[in-house]
Structure 1
């Protein structure tokens, strides 16, 4: 997705730096992780429930609750998140919230 790419984030940092007349750094700790790795990180931090209930990946803005989180299940972003959740579930069949 264009707004999730490294060059986009770097360009936004430059834009903000120019607008604020001071250096701005945007940290993107999840950029290089796949969705299964993000679920793993949330699991290890005890935050699976928060990841599923309080975040939205859907590019259609659909907030329908699914096992993998909120979204429409149809758009590419939702399908990618669902796939990542299924990969995560291979090693964690019953993740506790």
Structure 2
């Protein structure tokens, strides 16, 4: 009797990671959802991650804490840096969180080793994304190489795999895929400055990409917006 293969899925509570969790489940993995409180100002996404993990049948959901906010350097962690609204991004934006995906994948790697999971899923995307260096395929490949060098399981001959199933999809493709897999996007929070109730501003880059994705997918946008959002 073979037990179901386990996978750790990084789950922010946003649209992409919710889709990623649904894909891992659809592939037959027993899923272990991992959310990371890294000092983000938009803590509503962590509340959303609990709802999403439950709705998509994760075997377990853990919240790890590592305060990248203590270093600042990003509009997502430092209240002194404004989240840009109504502007197109050029270069690497102020919403980039230094080392975030490296840190989160490392925490996922630690839990995966303990669980005996050889697979880690992350919802990074290199198409409709904001120019973050840690969302590129080269980064994911390099991390997988490192993970196999750094771990007991890698040394003993098993292969750790980092899955980034959304990396080359457009936002509309991601939404279509998720709808087909039964994801309720009304549970998710994407906005960089969501209020405590999870309502979106409608103006930051994350909101604009999300709204454009629903429009392009031809799917009604279930996002709750703040009263002043336009």
TM-score, normalised via structure 2 length: 0.31
1:27 to 152, 160, 163: 163
User: Are the aligned partners of 1:53 and 1:65 in contact in 2 as well (CA < 8 Å)?
Assistant: no
For residues 193 and 220 of structure 2, the distance between their equivalents in structure 1, rounded to whole angstroms, comes to 28
Task: Map 1:7-18; keep pairs closer than 5 Å.
Answer: 7-18=138-149
1:81 aligns with 2:213: no
Q: Distance in 1 between matches of 2:205 and 2:221?
A: 25
Q: Secondary structure of 1:65's match? A: coil
Is 1:6 aligned to 2:137, yes or no? yes
Report the Cα distance in structure 2 between the residues aligned to 1:94 and 1:28, rounded to whole angstroms.
Answer: 24
Offset at 1:94? 8.1
Give the root-mean-square deviation of aligned CA atoms: 2.6
Residue pair 2:214, 2:221 contacting (<8 A) in 1 also: no
Count of aligned pairs: 84
Whichever structure has more strand as a proportion of its residues is: 2
Map of 1:42 onto structure 2: 178
Unaligned runs of 5+ in 1: 67-71
2:98: which partner in 1? none
- Which is richer in helix? 1
Contact 2:211/2:221 (<8 A) preserved: no
> What 5-or-longer segments of structure 2 have no aligned partner?
1-131, 223-230
4+ residue runs over 3 A deviation: 60-63, 72-75, 92-95
